[in-house]
Every structure is written in C-alpha cells, then in structure tokens.
Chains A and B, each alone.
Chain A
C-alpha cells in the first residue's frame, strides 16, 4: 500500500513540472505588459520602467526567468504578487477556504441528488422517470453556467426575494474569520441569524456550481448501474430474498460506484473551473475570482502560483479517488 502510494506520488512529478512550464509560458504569451498595466492611465517614465524591468527580472532570458521561478517553487516560494506585494502563498490560503466551502457544498449537492437519481433511473429503465431525468440531465449538462446563474438570480432573488444576490454573508454580521469557512465561523460567532444568513448566501452559488456535476453523476450512475444490474451476483442477491432496496442500493450500487467515483474525481477539476464563473457572478471572494482578476492585471506570480496550487489540489483528489477504488472493490487492490 505504502509502495503504491509512493509510486503514485512519483508520477506526480512530471505533471507538476508540466504545470509550471505551461502556466509560466501561457501567461507570458498573453499580450500586455504587467508594468504598463500596473502603471495604469498615469503611465510610467522610461527610467522607472527600466528600473521595474530589472526589479522583476524581465531583462533576463526566458529560460533564466523560468529556472529562477522553479528554484523558488521547489523551496516553497511562489513569489509575491506584483500588485499587492503579498506572498502568493498567503493570498491563496486566505481565499481558498471560500472556494473550498462552495465547492464542497456543490459536490455534496451533486452527489446527494445525482446518485439516487441515477439509481432510480436505472432500476426504472425506459419508464417515464428515467426518460424525464435523462433529458433533464442533458439540459443541465449543456447549460451555460453564467446564463443559469443569472436566471436563478432573476427568479429567486429578484422576483421571489428568497435569496441574496451576492456575497457570503449579510453585512449586518461581523466576526473574525478564524477558519475562513463562513458556515463554521458564523456558528462559532454565536450571533443569532448569522449561520442562517451564511446558508442563504450559499444556496444559489451551490446550485449553479453543482448543476453540471449533478448531471454528469446522474448519467454516469445510471449507465454503471444498468451494467451491474445484469450481473450474475445481482440474481444471487435476489435469490436470497433480499428487498429491491438492498439489492439495488447495496449489492449493485457498490459495484457501480467505481466509474461514478471516477467522474466525481474528474468533476473536481470542472468544479474549480466553474468556480471562476460562479464566483465572479456571485461576487464570491474565492480563488476563482482572484485568478480572473490576476489574469487581467497580468500578475504573473499569482497566475502561475494559483494554477500550480489548483493543479496540486486536483492531483491530490485524483490520488484519493485511486485509493478509493481499492476500498470500494477489493478485487482492484490485487495487482
């Protein structure tokens, strides 16, 4: 087990370097000079410009800049933001809890609805529920996130007034962000109504961000279940006199989980990409919004560091998924 873990961690290395190269070169391929962007409309004098070029090391050849950057990364130094002058590392971890909170809620939403929906659809294959669910899932999967978000805001916030339009909590409440997770902090603050307000603010972003994973999980669960339901061991389970709920929900679902867990793992990447749009629309102060802002500012260290950290998160999730396979189906553990 430990050896397997180590060998998997080794395969991380090429991916890790790949991400550093891609993030380093792509942001530099974008037109726009960070110094000019930073100076804004006031402009900058030629001498000051030269000074800044030297300060940021843009006078060095590209490979030299990359080696310097990589050297820093290996020592755990992701550099400082051009704009705020704060270390990328600190900025990331100040904002990451907001994104994590939203992503976890979206994932719970997607799994809690998608898994049972897929199972029920598979068991009732070809019937009305199955057809309705699968066509709805297709719509959900194909829908542009920003349009869906705006639609929900118009209906639930605008017309019905049920949910707030943006932000993480009502301005009435103020407390220290000890953990960065609003649901936890609001509970710990002990202020009445704070937690409810935090939940209210989470509802729409969660639905918006969770819609695509929900559709993917429901469809994947259904097709995996259909395959498993025709297996011999399902007949054995029924021959024992087990109730359909136990046959489908325990004997079949456990076997169907492997492909479902795979798409859940892959959805985490989609989720972080979706978070960029969702956070922008709902003014959610997470890393998605932070990354978008940094790209517009040509804040090289932030974009590079942020991408790298997100990539590492996705890699960790995928490793967890691989380890889960063996836990779900012990036959896979045997290599």
Chain B
C-alpha cells in the first residue's frame, strides 16, 4: 500500500460565475522514499490537488475523492483538529515564493520553533537545539544568528532554506515542494534542488515536486505525472517518459525544450489551457493537439493501460518514431 494514495480527486470552486472544476479526477500515489514530479502549465491543477490533500483550500472549494489515504489513514472526513495533527508533522509543504511565505513580523527562529512546540512538545532548550540542527542540515551558515533574523534580513534562497527547515522540522513522511525554485536565481535553484534531493535520500521521506520545468524533472524525479487542465494525462518513470512520451501533450512539452530543438525556432504549443467557459466537449487537449480528429473533439478519452503511460488519449503515441512523425 503506497504512503499516499489518492484516486479520482476532484476539486470544485464556487465562483461568482458558477462552479469551476480546477481538478478533475486526478490520481496520485507515492511511496516512502520515492520522488514524484507533477508537471503541467499554470492552471493545470497541480498545486490545488496537493493543497486539497493538505486541507489548505479556502471554504469555497469542494473536495471529493474515491480514495484519499495517507500512511494508512483515510483523510476524508477527518475533523479539522485531527487533520492538523498530521499536517505540518507527517506531511509538510513548501511554497513558491519564499519571501512572502514567511511572516514578516516574526523571526525565523520563532517560526520554526512554533512547529516544534506544537507537534513534538519540546521544551525551550530542546527547541533551540533542534532549530540550530535543522538550520545546519539545510546549509544555513551561522544558524544561531540566523534564528534571530527576520525574513526581510535574509535573501530569497536563504528564506527558502528556512522554509525547508521548517517543513522537515518534525521529520515528515511526505514533503510536497510546490515550485520551490521558480522564484529563485538559476544558481540558487540548483542548490535548493540538491538540498531537497539530499534530504530526501538521508531521511527516506517521500517527495512530491510540483513544477513546470522539465529540466528540474529530468534532474531530480524518479516518476513523473503530467497534468493538463485539471486532469492527469500521463504517468511514467522519468527515463521512459523522456524516451517515449505517449500523450501528444507530453510530446509537445518535451519538443519545446531548448535542448531538444532541431530547427532555428523553438517549437511551441499553440493556444492556452481551457478556462472555466471554453472547456472542450471531448479531449481537453484537442483544440491544441496536432493529431486531433473529430473523435477527439467529441468524446473524452479514457486513460490507456500502464504500458501506454495511462495516457488520456484516443491515439496514444507508442514509439519514438511515431512521436517525431
């Protein structure tokens, strides 16, 4: 049984103009010690599905799922108090914007020790020692001084390290990193990714990496799941996905990588992700897909078998040659 098992997760938001389905029947499963990457464009429901699992969505959201279990515990129907015992302790999350994700009114030390007191019940001295230890683990120099620093006195990369230290403070079984490097300089990005994968190896926790950067996926993840417009369209081990993408969307994403470009102009995917009002009747990717025909435009495709990367496509691409055709 996987550490985290979510099946058929849907999230609807009540908006002024009616219901909006941000996540549509997504499955996520991840095992202890595994790194799963979730990729997709903005608005593909990557973050929302994880926030839904953590119980961090606003009250306008309605979350439904057939299965949502973590560490053998059913997350559906937990009282808010029961969920708070898990969130921040066994599952933790770090966010995209380190500068705005830390509270400007409190020191880094206050913010990290808060979780230690809440979940582990450590006394003052133990909290301090553990905080110093954590700062050393995430590579923050002079931890004693940094504990007293306010977020505005630290750089973006340093703040993200503080966020990571806070997230791993209680030895979580699962860490969700929501675009942890997007807001950082390229040189810092690599450091933070190395830090995350290093910590994952040392502690044996599961890591879910949400990103839209295929380069990040290739470097860090073991398994990838591709999301498009709130649906999971493909899932494969990293090497296989880069070798033989089965969904035309994945193929198009990979073709758009600068390293893979063959012509002078970088290939792009025309159009944008469908929004609330222009959702296609059939396959959600059909308006932007170069292989789409009438069947694609009329009937929503069912996921294919695991040998075809559970691709949500009527005509999954099966060989590399075909992907390039």
The interface of chain A, by Cβ under 8 A from chain B, is: 231-233, 235-244, 251, 254-255, 328-331, 334
Contacts and interface: CB of A to CB of B under 8 A. Distances in A.
Contact of A233 (B103, B114, B150): B103
B56 A241 contact: no
Nearest to B85: A241
Given A242-B84, A330-B150, A236 B104 contact: no
Contact of A232 (B80, B100, B106, B119): B100
A233 B94 CA distance: 11
Given A240-B114, A242-B118, A235 B95 contact: yes
Contacts of B150: 330-331
Most chain-B Cβ atoms within 10 A of its Cβ — which of A231, A232, A328, A331?
A: A232
B163 A255 contact: no
Contact of A231 (B100, B106, B118): B100
A329 B104 contact: yes
A233 B104 contact: yes
Interface in B142-173: 150, 152, 163, 166
A232 B152 contact: no
A274 to B, nearest CB: 32
B104 A255 contact: yes
B183 to A, nearest CB: 11
13 contacts: A231-B100, A232-B100, A232-B101, A233-B102, A235-B56, A236-B95, A236-B101, A236-B166, A239-B95, A240-B88, A240-B166, A242-B118, A255-B105
Interface of B: 54, 56, 80-81, 84-89, 92-93, 95, 97, 100-106, 114-115, 118-119, 150, 152, 163, 166
A231 B103 CA distance: 9
B101 A235 contact: yes
Given A233-B102, A237-B103, A242-B88, 10 more contacts: A233-B100, A235-B56, A235-B101, A236-B163, A238-B56, A239-B92, A239-B95, A240-B87, A241-B86, A254-B103
A251 B103 CA distance: 7
Contact of B104 (A240, A243, A331): A331
A254 B93 CA distance: 23
Contacts of B105: 251, 254-255, 328-331
A334 B86 CA distance: 37
- Across the A-B interface, the 3 shortest Cβ-Cβ residue pairs: A241-B88, A240-B88, A233-B103
Mostly, the A contact residues are helix
A241 B84 contact: yes
A241 B101 contact: no
Nearest to A251: B103
Nearest to B99: A232
A239 B97 contact: no
Nearest to B104: A331
A238 B86 CA distance: 12
A231 B84 CA distance: 20
A331 B152 CA distance: 6
A281 B314 CA distance: 83
Contacts of A243: 81, 84
A197 B96 CA distance: 60
B119 to A, nearest CB: 7
A203 B217 CA distance: 67
A58 B110 CA distance: 65
A233 B88 contact: no
A236 B87 contact: no
Given A255-B105, A328-B105, A329-B105, A241 B87 contact: yes
A233 B104 CA distance: 8
Given A241-B119, A330-B152, A331-B150, A236 B86 contact: no
Nearest to A334: B152
Contacts of B93: 239
Nearest to B92: A239
Most chain-A Cβ atoms within 10 A of its Cβ — which of B84, B100, B103?
A: B103
A251 B119 CA distance: 18
B152 A239 contact: no
Most chain-B Cβ atoms within 10 A of its Cβ — which of A231, A232, A239, A328?
A: A239
Most chain-A Cβ atoms within 10 A of its Cβ — which of B81, B104, B105, B152?
A: B105
A236 B152 contact: no
Contacts of B115: 240-241
B106 A254 contact: yes
A239 B104 contact: no
Nearest to A240: B88
Contact of A241 (B95, B97, B100, B118): B118
A255 B103 contact: yes
Most chain-B Cβ atoms within 10 A of its Cβ — which of A236, A244, A251?
A: A236
Nearest to B93: A239
Contacts of A241: 84-89, 115, 118-119
Nearest to A236: B101
A244 B83 CA distance: 12
Contacts of A240: 87-88, 114-115, 118, 166
Contacts of A232: 95, 97, 100-101
Contacts of B92: 239
A239 B103 contact: no
B310 to A, nearest CB: 30
A224 B84 CA distance: 26
A236 B89 contact: no
Nearest to B89: A241
B221 to A, nearest CB: 22
Given A329-B105, A331-B152, A239 B100 contact: no
A69 to B, nearest CB: 46
Contacts of A235: 56, 95, 101
B101 A233 contact: yes
A13 B318 CA distance: 81
A200 to B, nearest CB: 40
A254 B110 CA distance: 14
Most chain-B Cβ atoms within 10 A of its Cβ — which of A233, A240, A251, A331?
A: A240
A236 B103 contact: yes
A55 B146 CA distance: 69
